[in-house]
């Protein structure tokens, strides 16, 4: 997580980078922190080590909540706990048919953390309270329906090599150099064929 944070900090100040894409490896976006190992650290008396883990996770989540450039998170798989904390603040959150979102920390007696109380409290009706209390799961379509995801794409087109990322930023033209605006506007129709908003 420290390396990822350093990369994000360097990208934010780099005028050659217009937006940042975050994607998981394998069948998960990010399942979050290993809560069991944190619990074991505490049981063994390593309080400072467990504090450091939370400090890193919360610090990175804060950076992403205040990030100045468009931030794209491809939620192609498990997106739980700390994984949700680092993806939900993104400008664009792309869910797929493989997306599984949850706050599983509640199932072991912890509260939804790392920003979850913020985004859960903004969900319609009592959905946020329900998810925060039960740790129940949402799929990609459900994430779109409740507003946790901003876009939906099939996993075969959501990889960096196939997804038309240049079109995503067309929703935020003020964040892009003027030379890209014409190209972005030309690609909007192509984007609509890949993604449902």
Q: What is the pLDDT of residue 33?
A: 58
**Cα 101 from Cα 93, distance rounded (Å):** 12
Q: Which residues contact 26 (CB under 8 A, 6 or more apart)?
A: 77
The Cα angle at residue 102 between residues 154 and 163, in degrees rounded to 5: 20
Q: What angle do CA 112, 77, 146 make, to 5 degrees?
A: 55
pLDDT at position 61: 83
The answer to whether residues 8 and 58 touch, using CB atoms and an 8 Å cutoff, is no
Q: Taking CA 106 as the corner, what is the angle to CA 102 and CA 109, rounded to the nearest 5 degrees? A: 160
Q: Cα-flanking dihedrals φ and ψ of residue 43, to 5°?
A: -65, -30
Averaged pLDDT in 10-residue chunks for the chain of 197 residues: 86 87 73 71 90 84 86 86 81 89 78 76 88 88 90 72 47 41 44 44
d(CA 156, CA 10): 30
The confidence score (pLDDT) of residue 103 equals 83
Query: What is the domain partition of the chain in residue ranges?
Result: 21-158, 164-197
What dotted CATH number matches 21-158? 3.90.226.10
Instruction: Calculate the alpha carbon distances from 151 to 69, 76, 97, 179, 196 in Å.
Output: 18, 12, 12, 25, 6
- Quick one: DSSP state of residue 173? G
Q: Give pLDDT, residue 46.
A: 92
- This prediction has a pTM of 0.73
């Amino acid at each position: 997580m420290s390396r990822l944070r350093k990369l994000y900090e360097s990208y934010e100040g780099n005028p050659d980078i217009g937006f940042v894409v975050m994607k998981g490896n394998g069948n998960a976006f990010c399942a979050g922190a290993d809560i069991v190992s944190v619990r074991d650290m505490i049981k063994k008396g390593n309080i400072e080590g467990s504090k450091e883990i939370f400090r890193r996770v919360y610090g990175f989540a804060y950076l992403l909540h205040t990030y100045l450039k468009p931030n794209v998170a491809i939620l192609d798989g498990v997106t739980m706990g700390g994984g949700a904390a680092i993806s939900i603040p993104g400008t664009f959150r792309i869910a797929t048919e493989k997306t599984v979102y949850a706050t599983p920390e509640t199932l072991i007696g912890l509260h939804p953390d790392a920003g979850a109380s913020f985004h859960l409290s903004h969900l319609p009706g009592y959905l946020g309270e329900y998810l925060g209390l039960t740790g129940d799961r949402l799929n990609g379509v459900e994430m779109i329906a409740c507003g946790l995801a901003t876009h939906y794409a099939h996993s075969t087109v959501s990889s960096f090599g196939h997804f038309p990322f240049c079109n995503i930023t067309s929703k935020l033209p003020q964040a892009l150099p003027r030379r890209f605006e014409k190209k972005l506007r030309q690609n909007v129709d192509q984007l609509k064929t890949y993604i449902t908003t």
